[in-house]
Every structure is written in structure tokens, then in C-alpha cells.
Structure 1
Amino acid sequence: MRSSDVQVKNRDLVYYERYLRIQRERARRLVREDLIEEHRLKPLGHHSDALARLAFILGNGPHAGKYAIRVVEPFKAYKIVSFSGVRGVPPTTVDETTYASPDEAYHAIFLRRLADITR
């Protein structure tokens, strides 16, 4: 690999990090209590324009560290896991909280993503 190829890849990473930082700032400005409540009531499906924008920004980004739902017991128990971003490395359980429905787990992921952008 040539030195110029490495420089281009590094520059791409710099711009990607800048893009993610700008998106996090944009998401912080969009957060409102009514949007959080709207998501709690209906975590999946059609949302208002403001919530759809916020959810898109929160769900965008690198695969490593993304949250997902693991079914512990079908229709009864769900946990949140986080992807490693490395092929062959399984997701890790985020905490020991168990959710009774997928909707509760999806909303918990939404709240975690909101907490992540405020750090």
C-alpha cells in the first residue's frame, strides 16, 4: 500500500469523525420531552418528522457499540446487547436489566442512545 493511500484513508476517517460529531450536535438540539414520550408510546412504526429525524441520527454511525435486543425467553424476556464491531466476536450484554416486551427494550435502547450523545 502506498503512503498516499494511507493518507487518503486517514483523511476519510477524520471527515467521518467530523460528520458523526456534527450529527451528535444536531441530535442534541432535537431532543424534547414530547419526542421521548412519543417514542415510549410507539417505539416502532411511523413517527412524527422530528422523532424520525432524531431516530435516524441516533441509529446512524459505526457498527461497533450499536445496541440490539437479545431474546432471552420468547415473548417474555429481552436484554440489550452491544455489538463488538469485530467479525466473530459475539455481542456483549449491556446490563442485567430484563425487559418484558420488545417495545420496552426498544425504548430503553433509544434512551441509551440519547445518553450516549450527551457524553
Structure 2
Amino acid sequence: MNEQAKKAYLETDKRILERNIKPLITKELIEEHRKNPVGRHSHALSQVMNYFRRNHEEIEGKDLIVCTEPHKTWCLGAHPGKRGVPYIVFSDECYDTREKAEHALFLKRLEKHGVLIK
């Protein structure tokens, strides 16, 4: 994608965030995700999650979850941006269930996009 196309894409993406996604973010929506981070969600939560899962970010540095100990430990991390290079693992952001890690990642994405309600 050339620079002009990338700029137009990011401007459109920002408008989608402001007009369509930000109004959906409420304390109730965040609580819905905390209670059920994996599985079926309300239409509003599905829209928010689909927006965050899209590939609108550069792959390098993209937030993700890394299972560091099967069935025991899940840590937040970041994609290194290159094939064959291990994921960056944030050892200070580890959880004892996948669900807790999923919710932590959700909160991190909300904060990263400036829409986290505390």
C-alpha cells in the first residue's frame, strides 16, 4: 500500500472508531466482556471486538496472547513483525486463565485506542 492509500485508510479507520465504535463503549459493555470474554456476545460487543481484531495495525508490535505454559499461564505479548522470530512476552502481564488474559488484552486495546472507560 502506498503512503497516500495508507493515509486514506487510517483516516477512514479513525472515523469508524469515533463514529461507530466509541459510542458503543460503556461500563456495561466492558463488564459483559469481563464476564464472558470468549464465546457469543451482544451485537455491540461483537462490533467492538471485530474492530480491534482487524488488521488496521502494523503487524509489528500488535498485541496478542501467548500461552507460556499449556493450560496454566497466558501472558500478553507483542508480535515481533518477522517470521521465525519469537513473540515478545510481557512477563509482568500473565494470567492463570485464558479468559483473564482475553479480558486484559481487551482492556489494553481499549486503552491503546483511547476509549477505555474507568
TM-score scaled by structure 2?
Answer: 0.83
- 1:21 and 2:14 matched: yes
Could you say if the C-alpha distance between residues 13 and 29 of structure 1 is closer, same or farther in structure 2, counting changes exceeding 3 Å? Answer: same
| Greater share of residues in helix | 1
Change (3 A) 1:19 1:64: farther
The gaps in structure 1 that reach 5 residues or longer are 1-7
Question: 1:10-60 CA distances to partner (integer Å, 9 max, x unpaired)?
Answer: 221111111221233232222001111111111111110011111111222
Identical amino acids, percent of aligned pairs: 30
Q: Distance in 2 between matches of 1:76 and 1:87?
A: 26
Asked whether the equivalents of residues 78 and 101 of structure 1 are also in contact (C-alpha less than 8 Å), the reply is yes
| Corresponding letter in the other structure for 2:67 | V
Cα contact 1:28–1:117 (8 A) shared by 2: no
Name segments (4+ residues, structure 1) moved above 4 Å. Answer: none
Q: Which amino acid aligns with 2:37?
A: P
Give the CA deviation at 1:66: 2.1
Per the TM alignment, residue 70 of structure 1 is displaced from its structure 2 partner at its CA by 1.3
Moved more, 41-50 or 92-101: 92-101
CA distance in 2, matches of 1:31, 1:95: 28
Would you say how many aligned residue pairs link Structure 1 and Structure 2? 112
Larger radius of gyration: 1
- Cα contact 1:28–1:118 (8 A) shared by 2: no
> Do residues 93 (structure 1) and 89 (structure 2) align?
yes
Could you tell me whether the CA contact under 8 Å between 1:66 and 1:83 is conserved in 2? yes
Counterpart AA for 1:70: V
Q: Do structure 1's residue 105 and structure 2's residue 98 form an aligned pair?
A: no
> TM-score scaled to structure 1, two decimals?
0.82
Stretches of structure 2 that go unaligned for 5 or more consecutive residues are none
Q: Is the 8 A contact 1:67 1:80 kept in 2?
A: yes
1:95 and 1:30 map into 2 onto residues whose CA distance is 31
